[in-house]
Structure 1
Amino acid sequence: MTVNLRGGNAVATGPGDLDACAREPIHIPGTIQPQGALFVLDPRDLRVWQAALGPSAQASRAGDPLGQSIDALVRPDRAPSCSALLAELPSGGATFLGTGRLAARGTPFNLLAHRSGAAIILELEEVVEGEPGSLEDVHPLVRSFLNDLQPARSIEELGVLAAREVRRITGLDRVLVYRFDADWNGTVVAEDRNERLPSYLDLRFPASDVPAQARELYRLNRLRLIADANYVPIPIEPPVHPDSRAPVDLSLAVLRSVSPVHLEYMRNMGTGASMSISLLSEGRLWGLISCHNRDPHRVPYHVRTACEFIGQILSLQIAAREATALAERRIELRSIQSRLLSHMAGSEVGFADALLASPEELLGLTRAAGAAIILDGSCRTIGETPSDDEIARLVQWLSEDGRGDVYATDALSADMPDAEGFKDRASGILAATISRVRRSYLIWFRPEVVRTVSWGGSPIKPAEPDGARIHPRKSFEVWKEIVRLRSAPWDEAEIDAAGQLRSAIVDIVLRSAEEMAQLNEQLVRSNRELEAFSYSVSHDLRAPFRHIVGYSELLKQNEGQSLSERGRRYIDTIIESAVSAGGLVDDLLSFSQMGRATLNPILIDMNALAAEVRGRFEQDARGRTVHWKIADLPPAFADPGMMRLVLQNLVDNAVKFTRGRDEAVIEIGGAADESEIAYFVRDNGAGFDMAYSSKLFGVFQRLHRVEEFEGTGIGLANVKRIVEQRHGGRVWAEGETDVGATIHFALPNIRGSV
Structure 2
Amino acid sequence: MTNSAAPYQVTLNTNYDSEMCGSIPLHLVNLVQPHGVLLVLDKKDLRVLQVSENISSFLPIAPDEILGKTLSDFLSEDKKGEILAKIKTQASQDKIPFTLSFSTHGEQKVFTSVILPQEDYILVEMEESVNAPAEYFIGLYQQIKYVTTLLKQAETIEELAQRFTEEFKKLTGFDKVMVYQFDPQWNGIVIGQAEEDDMDDYMGLRFPASDVPRQARDLYFRNPYRLIPTREYTPVKLVPVINPVTQRFTDLSESNLRSVANVHLEYLANMKITASMSLPIIIEDKLWGLISCHHKTAKYPGYELRSAMELLAGILSAQIEVKQRVEDMSLRVHLRSIHVKLMEQLYTSANFAEGILEGNTTIVDLLSLSGAVVAYEGNTWTIGTTPDKQEVKDLLSWLRRTKTSGVFATSSLPVDYPHSKDYKDVASGLIALPINAEQGDFILGFRPELIQTVNWGGNPNNAIQMEADGKSYHPRNSFEIYKETVKNTSATWLPEELAASDTLRNAILEKLIKERY
> Normalized against structure 2, the TM-score is what?
0.91
**Identical pairs, percent:** 34
**Distance 1:34-1:315 versus aligned 2 partners, 3 A rule:** same
Residue of structure 1 in register with 2:327 after alignment: 325
CA positional deviation for 1:513: 10
Residue of structure 2 in register with 1:37 after alignment: 37
CA positional deviation for 1:196: 4.0
The count of corresponding residues between Structure 1 and Structure 2 is: 501
Pairing 1:505–2:503 present: no
Matches for 1:97-496 after TM superposition, within 5 Å: 97-98=98-99, 100-101=101-102, 103=104, 105=107, 108-127=110-129, 138-347=140-349, 349-358=350-359, 360-466=361-467, 467=469, 468-496=471-499
Moved more, 330-339 or 356-365: 356-365
Q: Is the 8 A contact 2:206 2:456 kept in 1?
A: yes
Residue of structure 2 in register with 1:26 after alignment: 26
Secondary structure at 1:289 match in 2: strand
Q: Is the 8 A contact 2:28 2:251 kept in 1?
A: yes
Extract unaligned runs of 5+ from structure 1.
1-6, 515-754
CA positional deviation for 1:408: 0.8
2: CA distance, partners of 1:404 / 1:102: 68
- Residues 120-176 of structure 1 deviation map (CA, whole Å, 9 limit, x = unaligned): 111111346868898555212211111112221011111112212221121111000
Residue of structure 1 in register with 2:7 after alignment: none
Q: Is the 8 A contact 2:172 2:305 kept in 1?
A: yes
CA positional deviation for 1:262: 1.2
2: CA distance, partners of 1:403 / 1:127: 63
Secondary structure at 2:234 match in 1: coil
Q: Is the 8 A contact 1:100 1:111 kept in 2?
A: no
Q: Is the 8 A contact 1:36 1:109 kept in 2?
A: no
CA positional deviation for 1:399: 1.1
- Residues 333-380 of structure 1 deviation map (CA, whole Å, 9 limit, x = unaligned): 111111111111122x11111222236432111111111111122221
2: CA distance, partners of 1:299 / 1:513: 71
2: CA distance, partners of 1:101 / 1:165: 37
1: CA distance, partners of 2:167 / 2:361: 45
Residue of structure 2 in register with 1:94 after alignment: 95
1:386 counterpart letter in structure 2 = P
**Distance 1:403-1:191 versus aligned 2 partners, 3 A rule:** farther
Residue of structure 2 in register with 1:57 after alignment: 57
**Distance 1:135-1:366 versus aligned 2 partners, 3 A rule:** farther
Pairing 1:46–2:53 present: no
Secondary structure at 2:83 match in 1: helix
1:426 counterpart letter in structure 2 = A
Tell me which stretches of 4 or more aligned residues in structure 1 moved more than 4 Å: 101-108, 128-137
1: CA distance, partners of 2:443 / 2:103: 72
1: CA distance, partners of 2:417 / 2:366: 25
2:247 counterpart letter in structure 1 = R
1:81 counterpart letter in structure 2 = K
Q: Is the 8 A contact 1:374 1:440 kept in 2?
A: yes
Matches for 1:646-665 after TM superposition, within 5 Å: none
Residue of structure 2 in register with 1:589 after alignment: none
Q: Is the 8 A contact 1:412 1:427 kept in 2?
A: yes
1: CA distance, partners of 2:120 / 2:292: 32
Secondary structure at 2:479 match in 1: coil
2:194 counterpart letter in structure 1 = D
Secondary structure at 1:265 match in 2: helix
CA positional deviation for 1:105: 4.8
CA positional deviation for 1:324: 2.3
2: CA distance, partners of 1:167 / 1:358: 54
CA positional deviation for 1:58: 5.1
2:79 counterpart letter in structure 1 = S
Q: Is the 8 A contact 1:456 1:478 kept in 2?
A: yes
2: CA distance, partners of 1:131 / 1:470: 47
Q: Is the 8 A contact 2:400 2:439 kept in 1?
A: no
Q: Is the 8 A contact 1:18 1:470 kept in 2?
A: no
Moved more, 84-93 or 447-456: 84-93
2: CA distance, partners of 1:36 / 1:135: 23
Q: Is the 8 A contact 1:272 1:293 kept in 2?
A: yes
2:73 counterpart letter in structure 1 = A
Q: Is the 8 A contact 2:404 2:434 kept in 1?
A: no
**Distance 1:161-1:132 versus aligned 2 partners, 3 A rule:** farther
Secondary structure at 1:60 match in 2: coil
Q: Which has the larger radius of gyration?
A: 1
> Normalized against structure 1, the TM-score is what?
0.64
1: CA distance, partners of 2:14 / 2:371: 30
CA positional deviation for 1:271: 0.8
Secondary structure at 1:504 match in 2: helix
- Residues 174-195 of structure 1 deviation map (CA, whole Å, 9 limit, x = unaligned): 0000000111010000011112
CA positional deviation for 1:18: 4.6
2:231 counterpart letter in structure 1 = A
2: CA distance, partners of 1:479 / 1:367: 31
